[in-house]
Amino acid sequence: MTEATLQRRPLVKQILAGADDNLLVIGGLGSSNWDITSAGDRPLNMPMWGGMGAPVGMGLGLALAQPTKRVLVITGDGDMLMSLGSLATVATQQPDNLALCVLDNEKFGETGNQATHTSPRNNGPTDSGAGTDLAMVARGCGIADSATVREASQVAQLVRDLRTTKGPIFRLVKVMVEKLEFVMPPQDGAHLKDRFRQALLGHP
């Protein structure tokens, strides 16, 4: 397997470029939160500071409640591994406005870059995973439009898919392991929820 070359920060910035009121974004805890915030904090972002395993379910509940809006979940491989069943739950509903993007660096970044299950097997005594293929898991769960992105040449299509292709879609993006600055949104969960609802519904 080739080393990942895509960098998450500029990638997420491209994915979210020109985001308007029709794009509702949930960012998983840790790096994905800092990534979407680095692209520009906005009320229609719901950046998670905890709640590991929740983003896909939150995206589904939101997509069902707001069928005319695009709902985009951006999270990491560790978070996704904690809620694999939620992919099957998404598949039962087939929401055409839901896109799931997993940034897979094969590490638990917040706890010291330990290998996740998506790391290759036989990577040494402290760094081996299982080679788990999350795109294959998503397809197996019933999300037919599931694919993996590794190359810079695929990014323009990735952005179009995440923003406009009929859902549910799942994109696994292999990204580099990097040490990046924390770019933090407000932390208060009630505030984040209220500003999101205010922007979307006109009341908290």
Partner 1 sequence: MNAETSDALGNGDWRDEIFDVLKDHDIRQVYHVPDAGHSRLIEHCQRSNSIRTVPLTTEEEGIALAAGAWLGGQRSVMLMQSSGVGNTINLMGLTKTLRFPFLTLITMRGDYGEFNSWQYPMGQATPKVLEAMGVLLYSVDRAEDVRATVDAATRAAFNGGQAVAVLLRQKLIGIKNFGKK
Among 40, 85, 96, 166, binds partner 1 (CB under 8 A): 85
Distance CA 110, CA 132 (A): 20
Residue that the structure tokens 């840790």 belong to? 30
Residue that the structure tokens 């922007």 belong to? 199
Distance CA 100, CA 122 (A): 29
- Of the pair 156, 186, the CB lying nearest partner 1 is at 186
The span of 47-55, 124-132, 144-152, 162-170 binding partner 1 (CB under 8 A) equals 47-55
φ, ψ (nearest 5 deg) of residue 201: -105, -15
φ, ψ (nearest 5 deg) of residue 88: -70, -35
> Of residues 6-25, which lie at the interface with partner 1 (CB under 8 A)?
24
For the CB of residue 41, give the shortest distance to partner 1 in the complex, in Å. Answer: 16
Residue that the structure tokens 């932390």 belong to? 187
User: Does residue 196 belong to the site contacting partner 1 (CB under 8 A)?
Assistant: yes
For the CB of residue 193, give the shortest distance to partner 1 in the complex, in Å. Answer: 5
Among 1, 2, 18, 92, binds partner 1 (CB under 8 A): 92
User: Does residue 89 belong to the site contacting partner 1 (CB under 8 A)?
Assistant: yes
Chain-centroid distance, C-alpha 67? 19
Among 5, 93, 123, 164, binds partner 1 (CB under 8 A): 93
> Of residues 164-193, which lie at the interface with partner 1 (CB under 8 A)?
189-190, 192-193
Chain-centroid distance, C-alpha 136? 16
The candidate with the shortest Cα–Cα distance to 101, out of 49, 59, 44, is: 59
The span of 80-88, 128-136, 150-158, 178-186 binding partner 1 (CB under 8 A) equals 80-88
For the CB of residue 84, give the shortest distance to partner 1 in the complex, in Å. Answer: 8
β-pair type (169-174, 98-104): parallel
Listed in sequence order, the residues at least 6 apart from 169 whose beta carbon sits closer than 8 Å to its beta carbon are 98, 99, 100, 143, 145, 146, 161, 162
For the CB of residue 191, give the shortest distance to partner 1 in the complex, in Å. Answer: 9
User: Does residue 201 belong to the site contacting partner 1 (CB under 8 A)?
Assistant: yes
Which residues in this chain contact partner 1 in the complex, by CB under 8 A?
A: 24, 26, 46, 49-51, 53-66, 69, 83, 85-86, 88-89, 92-93, 189-190, 192-193, 196-197, 200-201
